[in-house]
């Protein structure tokens, strides 16, 4: 059994973590308060006892050691509020009388300073006392002075104070629960608003998420809106593709149907060839649209490793064109990862390399560059190239389906379409000496859905 199971709710998890921590800290503070209170009380009492002994010593010295001349009794009890004992060889004064057994034992002791007596053997007197003993000489007369405090009474006062502290701590814990619950509800309000907005989005009342979310939720809202944009774009492309396909195959199908329905005409070789040509047109249209449907476009979480894919493509094209050399130029690390869907990257590099391989004389070079703001793919060949006036026609949509015509332009429209889906651009230029150079720039921001 794990200590923390999968949380059922954020509120429950926060309460489960914060409440025990708050109670534990409050309990620790209460224990520390008790220890400090006991220590400070004893130190304070010891200091007062020492001061009162010093006062009694002063009074005794002023009286020349004559204890009978001292105003004991009510005077000292009202001043000190403590029990005391004064002993000389001629007399002993102890107040109150119930403390006599305890203080007598301290008089007989030979140690001065602060003393604590626990479990004292008395009937009416205290069982636990703290006393300060001092012995001195007045002339040749030895005097012993002891002032003591009943720690039992002090502990009862401390216990009462400590109990009130516990009551206040419990009230503070209850207040802490209320504050935590209020804080959790306040913090979770954006989630409630987001859930309500998603419900309105599901019901078709809104098309995008517009919530005043805190900083932590803004990337989530942005990603959701970008995902909605991407889904709308793909739905629109699918509808356009279906419409184009329907329009493209309608005429060939009608022609074939007309030939088959005309029973008055025999199926000659010319008609068979015409039907075959029409069916080939339909097959090309279907293949082209299916190929377009495989282009994923930018997707969250989808990525490709350009170096690995580039080496695989160069190896394959090297076998297809064994008389030509395919070179790779890149400073990317081996584990470089680009935010482009793997199939899309294969289509881009494969079309460009195949195009260059058909028209190069000896060498085709592929370069992969990663800048701070964009990703760049470059393919150059040493073939005859394209004249300046014709370069602008490369990649036009009207040439996209003409995949049987050799030359620069084969598949370039497909490459352009894929690149545009990622918000990139396709550039054509003459190579350094001769031949064609094709450069693809894709912004790195396409790592998010656009």
What's the pLDDT tens digit per position in 185-222? Answer: 887 787 788 888 888 877 777 778 877 777 777 787 88
Domain residues for the domain of 273 are 230-293
Amino acid 302: pLDDT: 66
Domain end among 156, 181, 197: 156
243 and 145 in a common domain: no
**Same domain as 272, residue 311:** no
436 assigned to some structural domain = yes
Q: Whose CA is closest to 394, among 328, 447, 438?
A: 438
319 in the same domain as 245: no
User: Per the domain annotation, does 366 fall within a domain?
Assistant: yes
Domain membership of residue 322 (yes or no) is: yes
Whole-angstrom distance, CA of residue 243 vs CA of residue 249: 10
Spans of the chain below 70 pLDDT: 1-8, 65, 67-81, 119-125, 240-241, 243-252, 254-255, 258-259, 265, 267, 271, 274, 278, 281, 284-302, 389, 393, 395-410, 433, 445-450
Three-state secondary-structure class, residue 66? coil
pTM passes above 0.85? no
Amino acid 123: pLDDT: 62
Residue 401 domain-assigned (yes or no):
yes
128-138/141-150 β-pairing = antiparallel
The strands making up 374-381's β-sheet, listed across from edge to edge, are 325-330, 363-370, 374-381, 436-443, 425-430
Residues 368 and 257 in one domain: no
As for how many domains the chain has, the answer is 3
Residue 356 lies in a domain: yes
C-alpha radius of gyration, the chain, whole number = 49
Q: What is the pLDDT at residue 449?
A: 36
pLDDT at 395: 61
Give yes or no: residues 310 and 278 share one domain.
no
Write out pLDDT tens, residues 256-280: 776 677 777 676 777 677 677 767 7
Q: Is 34 a domain residue?
A: yes
In a domain, 3, yes or no: no
DSSP-assigned states of every residue in 79-126: HH-SEEEEE-SS-EEEESGGGHHHHHHHHH----EEEEEES---SSS-
Report the pLDDT value the prediction gives residue 374, as an integer from 0 to 100.
85
Q: What does the pLDDT read at residue 368?
A: 93
**Is 30 found in the same domain as 87?**
yes
Q: pLDDT tens, 46-67?
A: 888 888 888 888 888 877 767 6
Statement to judge: residues 259 and 357 lie in one domain = no
Burial of 81 (0-12, 13-18, 19+ CB in 10 A): exposed
One domain for residues 326 and 427: yes
CATH of the domain at 324: 3.30.565.10
**Final residue before a domain boundary, out of 139, 156, 173:** 156
Pair 311, 346 in one domain: yes
Which of 156, 181, 211 is the endpoint of a domain?
Answer: 156
Please list, residue by residue across 131-142, b when 16 or more beta carbons sit within 10 angstroms of its beta carbon and e when fewer do.
bbbbeeebeeee
Regarding whether 425 and 320 lie in a shared domain, the answer is yes
In a domain, residue 180? The reply is no
144's enclosing H/E stretch is strand 141-150
CA 35-37-38 angle, to 5 degrees, is 65
User: For residue 274, what pLDDT is reported?
Assistant: 67
Q: Is the dihedral of CA 233, 234, 237, 242 positive or negative?
A: negative
284 and 317: one domain?
Answer: no
C-alpha 307, offset from chain centre: 32
Q: Does residue 127 sit in the same domain as residue 249?
A: no
């Amino acid at each position: 059994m794990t200590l923390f199971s999968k949380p059922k709710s954020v509120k429950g998890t926060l309460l489960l973590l914060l409440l025990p921590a708050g109670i534990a800290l409050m309990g620790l503070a209460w224990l520390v308060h008790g220890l400090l209170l006991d220590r400070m009380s004893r130190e304070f009492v010891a200091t007062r006892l020492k001061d009162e002994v010093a006062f009694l010593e002063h009074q005794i010295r002023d009286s020349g050691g004559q204890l009978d001349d001292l105003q004991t009794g009510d005077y000292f009890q009202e001043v000190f509020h403590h029990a005391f004992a004064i002993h000389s060889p001629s007399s002993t004064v102890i107040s109150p009388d119930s403390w006599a057994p305890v203080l007598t034992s301290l008089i007989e002791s030979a140690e001065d300073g602060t003393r604590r007596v626990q479990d004292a053997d008395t009937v009416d007197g205290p069982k636990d006392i703290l006393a300060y003993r001092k012995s001195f000489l007045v002339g040749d007369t030895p005097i012993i002075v002891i002032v003591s405090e009943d720690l039992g009474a002090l502990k009862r006062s401390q216990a009462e104070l400590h109990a009130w502290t516990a009551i206040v701590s419990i009230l503070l814990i209850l207040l802490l629960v209320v504050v935590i619950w209020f804080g959790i509800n306040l913090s979770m309000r954006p989630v409630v608003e987001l859930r309500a907005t998603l419900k309105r989005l599901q019901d078709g009342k809104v098309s995008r998420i517009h919530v005043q979310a805190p900083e932590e939720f803004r990337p989530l809202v942005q990603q959701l809106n970008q995902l909605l944009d991407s889904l709308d774009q793909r739905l629109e492309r699918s509808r356009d593709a279906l419409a184009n396909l329907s329009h493209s195959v309608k005429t060939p199908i009608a022609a074939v149907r007309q030939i088959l329905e005309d029973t008055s005409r025999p199926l000659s070789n010319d008609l068979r060839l015409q039907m075959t040509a029409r069916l080939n047109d339909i097959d090309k249209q279907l293949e082209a649209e299916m190929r377009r449907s495989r282009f994923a476009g930018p997707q969250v979480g989808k990525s490709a490793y350009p170096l690995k894919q580039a080496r695989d493509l160069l190896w394959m094209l090297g076998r297809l064109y064994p008389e030509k050399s395919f070179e790779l130029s890149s400073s990317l690390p081996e584990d470089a990862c680009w935010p482009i869907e793997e199939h899309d990257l294969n289509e881009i590099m494969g079309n460009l390399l195949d195009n260059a391989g058909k028209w190069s004389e000896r060498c085709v070079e592929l370069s992969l560059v990663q800048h701070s703001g964009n990703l760049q793919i470059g393919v150059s060949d040493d073939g005859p190239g394209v004249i300046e006036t014709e370069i602008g026609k490369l990649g036009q949509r009207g040439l996209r389906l003409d995949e049987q015509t050799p030359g620069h332009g084969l598949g370039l429209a497909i490459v352009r379409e894929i690149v545009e889906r990622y918000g990139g651009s396709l550039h054509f230029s003459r190579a350094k000496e001769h031949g064609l150079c094709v450069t693809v720039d894709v912004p790195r921001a396409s790592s998010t859905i656009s």
